[in-house]
Amino acid sequence: MMADIRMRVLGHPWERTTVSTDAGSREELFIALFLRAMETVPELLALPGDLEAYTVRWDGEEVSIFHPDVEQAIFRAQPDAEGSAQGGAPVGTRPPELWREERGHGFYPAPEVLAEIPALWATVLEPHEHRVVGLRYYSAEGEWYVVEVDDASGRAYGWSCLGGDLSQGGWGLIDLPALESLGPDDDPSQLVVRDLDFTPDAAASVLPKGRPHDSCGDADCPVCPPDFMTAYVARLRGVIAEHGFAIQPVLGDESSAAYCYTIGLHESLGCEFVMAGLDVRVMQGLLHSLIERFAGSSGPVDGEALDGVLANGFQLLMRPVTSLEPFSMLRAVYGQEIAVPYWQAVWPDSAGIFPTDASCSLSPGTQPLL
């Protein structure tokens, strides 16, 4: 299903586009258009990147987005019911080719090929890796992959990389007429050339290997290459399905103590456990002991002291955790809105005194109370 949209970005005239709406609601579509504008329009690129600073206002079917540093709306979008009514952006005309003879073929493909490539803005609701790359250009200086194009002006959107450092590549506007006009300076390798052997396919399949990529977040997606986080979350879910819980270690450094926490235990016990300040292998073993201790019970009680878990007669103190912020992998597995109780198992100093007591000899950073 396609939708005709009118939109206006700060400092620019109204622009029209036709966008596929199969993947989301109108609200999602308008926000996606705004996010695209944030990465491609110079006036918006100059604004701070903190999205929480922006205000979104809905007036019927029109959205307006404001920033406190700008007096007027920086982005507006609305359905274009009339299709060709007032105030559209002027249609650009791309300049004629300059280096056709040197290339030995046209910089642009045949009109029927261009017609198969979506117009600018048309795929904003699709994950980057799912978008179909229709054209590839290359030179000694870089490579460019086109997923959307405005045939009249030659403006395009896609992935590009200058030089050989793939980590510097990214998605954004591609000015095809500017690329076409780059002169060879007696070095034909400097010409930007269309790849005549390129076959259109999903970005995940044709963009260079080894680049940073944007997974859609679905661990079972048949299109996206499995990134580390997606694959890791999938492994955690597999461990939880098999064992009922997983234990996530977080290594410490000079400024923070290591800690380990459970993920998934709340499905059977109603809560999760965490320990901090010891070697991660020791904490993993102690968490396993805690899980065995509370299996089949109603869970810990605030201030409960446990015997028989630590050696040499030392006790563990159970206390509720006040914030879920340290448990990022819990949110990765269960979603950002997950809210489950965590209990910290606190260990004492050499005199058996816990950090909850002011007389404890442990420094505050040795075992932070979460």
Q: Indicate the pairing of strand 342-346 with strand 272-276.
A: parallel
Q: Does residue 149 sit within a domain?
A: yes
Task: Choose the final residue of a domain: 144, 176, 206.
Answer: 206
Torsions phi, psi of 227, nearest 5?
-80, 170
198-204-207-212 Cα dihedral, nearest 10 degrees? 180
Instruction: Give the contacts of 20 (CB within 8 A, at least 6 positions apart).
Output: 1, 2, 3, 118, 122, 123, 125, 126
**pTM for this predicted structure:** 0.59
Residues 171, 241, single domain; the answer is: no
Report the domain count for the chain: 3
Q: Does residue 146 sit within a domain?
A: yes
Residues 188, 278, single domain; the answer is: no
- Write down the pLDDT at residue 158: 95
Q: Which residue has the tokens 């999205």?
A: 51
User: Cα 250 to the chain's mean position, in Å?
Assistant: 22
Q: Which of these, 168, 206, 368, 211, lies nearest to 276 by C-alpha position?
A: 368
For the chain, 370 residues long, the average pLDDT of each consecutive 10-residue run is: 85 83 74 88 82 86 91 91 48 76 89 92 88 94 94 92 83 92 76 94 88 67 73 87 92 83 94 92 91 90 90 90 90 88 93 90 87
User: Cα 84 to the chain's mean position, in Å?
Assistant: 36
Q: Does residue 185 sit within a domain?
A: yes
**Cα angle 223, 193, 169; round to 5:** 45
- The DSSP output letter for 253 is B
Q: Indicate the pairing of strand 15-20 with strand 259-263.
A: unpaired
Domain of residue 248 covers 228-346
End-to-end CA distance of the chain: 49
Torsions phi, psi of 77, nearest 5?
-150, 145
Residues 249, 197, single domain; the answer is: no
